[in-house]
């Protein structure tokens, strides 16, 4: 089964590499989305008897590989990556900034990224161990340590490694406490790579047809659907909650833009955190997030 998942990931990744050579934008977009949907639902059917954690892991790997291919197909025009550099972009980085892999640079800063990343990993894993030890189950207390270890730790250290190799990638999760509003949070503070992806494959095509407001809403609604694939599909419950979460934030972004005023730091963080139960239904918390924490049993 592992090898079939790997085949699906490779199919998603290299479909994009070859779709980039198609001149018709509409054709390569439609083919890219078709391959993504087909591979994700094939993975879901194949893993139907597996635990929620392994279903989530398999679906997310296939989804990420397919999105890498889709983003590259949209990005590539006259300028393309060589196959080795495309593989580095596709398999060694969680971001979607294809342009960072066109050329290698010298003397890029990297040491602070490694240091910050390793410290965040240590702090996050220590906090996660404490949450497991005390048997805490509140969603925020479970999610934050895991996020600190992975999003702010492992991915920051990975950034340092790629910059050491000469690729000018950027921080994917800049300081969230510097956020000034909902739009700022989702575009510049939380998962910049994901924001770049949605800007390229959703906002630009839809905004060109239906206007910017519809484009913004489409980004958040489709984000909700993609999170359904990664969260509710593996646990087979809670359908609609992640979409409602992102649709709410899409409306809040439009309110900010129409009013000309941002919600501010405190209000934004509260609006992100308070409905977190919509994004992570209780079954996902129990069968995936707490399952991750159960790894500490190996060291007890």
- Residue 300: the pLDDT is 64
Same domain for 86 and 116, yes or no, is: no
Same domain for 300 and 207, yes or no, is: yes
Same domain for 96 and 110, yes or no, is: no
- Residue 282: the pLDDT is 92
Residue 18 has pLDDT above 80, yes or no: yes
Look up tokens 């600190």; give the residue: 148
Residue 266's domain comprises: 172-300
pLDDT digits (tens, 9 = 90+) for 143-180: 999 999 999 999 999 999 999 999 999 999 998 889 99
Beta-strand ranges (E) seen in the chain are: none
DSSP state of 167: -
Look up tokens 């025009």; give the residue: 77
- Residue 272: the pLDDT is 95
Query: What distances in angstroms separate CA 256 from CA 181, 184, 219, 227, 266, one per listed residue?
Result: 8, 10, 16, 24, 15
**Greater confidence, 1 or 254?**
254
pLDDT digits (tens, 9 = 90+) for 205-246: 999 899 999 999 999 999 999 999 999 999 999 999 999 999
Same domain for 187 and 256, yes or no, is: yes
Closest CA to 176 of 155, 159, 187, 190: 190
pLDDT digits (tens, 9 = 90+) for 33-75: 999 999 999 999 999 999 999 999 999 999 999 999 999 999 9
Same domain for 30 and 79, yes or no, is: yes
Closest CA to 32 of 69, 77, 82: 69
Same domain for 140 and 190, yes or no, is: no
Same domain for 86 and 207, yes or no, is: no
Over range 20-25, report the average pLDDT: 90
Closest CA to 88 of 154, 22, 189, 163: 163
pLDDT digits (tens, 9 = 90+) for 93-146: 999 999 999 999 999 999 999 999 999 999 999 999 999 999 998 999 999 999
Same domain for 23 and 82, yes or no, is: yes
Three-state DSSP at 94 gives coil
Over range 175-196, report the average pLDDT: 92
Domain boundary among 61, 83, 104: 104
Q: CB-based burial of residue 98 (10 Å sphere; 0-12 exposed, 13-18 middle, 19+ buried)?
A: buried
Same domain for 90 and 203, yes or no, is: no
Q: How far apart are CA 90 and CA 197, in angstroms?
A: 13
Closest CA to 52 of 225, 300, 280, 298: 280
Domain boundary among 104, 138, 155: 104
Number of domains in the chain: 3
pTM: 0.93
Residues in Cβ contact with 87 at an 8 Å cutoff, skipping those fewer than 6 apart: none
């Amino acid at each position: 089964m592992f090898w079939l998942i790997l085949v699906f990931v490779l199919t998603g990744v290299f479909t994009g590499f070859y779709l980039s050579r198609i001149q018709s934008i509409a054709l390569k977009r439609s083919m890219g989305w078709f391959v993504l949907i087909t591979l994700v639902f094939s993975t879901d059917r194949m893993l139907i008897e597996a635990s929620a954690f392994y279903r989530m892991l398999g679906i997310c790997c296939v989804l990420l590989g397919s999105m890498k291919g889709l983003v590259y197909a949209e990005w590539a025009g006259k300028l393309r990556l060589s196959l080795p550099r495309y593989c580095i972009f596709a398999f060694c980085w969680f971001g979607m900034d294809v342009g960072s892999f066109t050329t290698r640079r010298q003397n890029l800063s990297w040491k602070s990224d490694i240091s910050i990343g390793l410290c965040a990993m240590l702090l996050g894993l220590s906090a996660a161990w404490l949450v497991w030890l005390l048997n805490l189950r509140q969603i925020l207390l479970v999610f934050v340590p895991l996020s600190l270890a992975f999003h702010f730790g492992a991915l920051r250290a990975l950034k340092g490694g790629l910059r050491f190799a000469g690729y000018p990638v950027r921080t994917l999760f800049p300081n969230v406490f510097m956020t000034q509003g909902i739009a700022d949070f989702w575009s510049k503070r939380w998962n910049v790579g994901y924001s770049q992806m949605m800007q390229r494959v959703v906002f630009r095509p839809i905004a060109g047809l239906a206007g910017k407001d519809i484009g913004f809403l489409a980004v958040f609604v489709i984000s909700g659907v993609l999170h359904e694939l990664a969260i509710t599909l593996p646990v087979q419950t809670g359908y609609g909650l992640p979409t409602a979460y992102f649709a709410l934030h899409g409306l809040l972004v439009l309110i900010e833009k129409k009013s000309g005023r941002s919600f501010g730091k405190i209000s934004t963080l509260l609006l992100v955190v308070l409905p977190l139960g919509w994004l992570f239904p209780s079954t996902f918390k129990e069968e995936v997030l707490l399952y991750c924490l159960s790894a500490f049993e190996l060291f007890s």
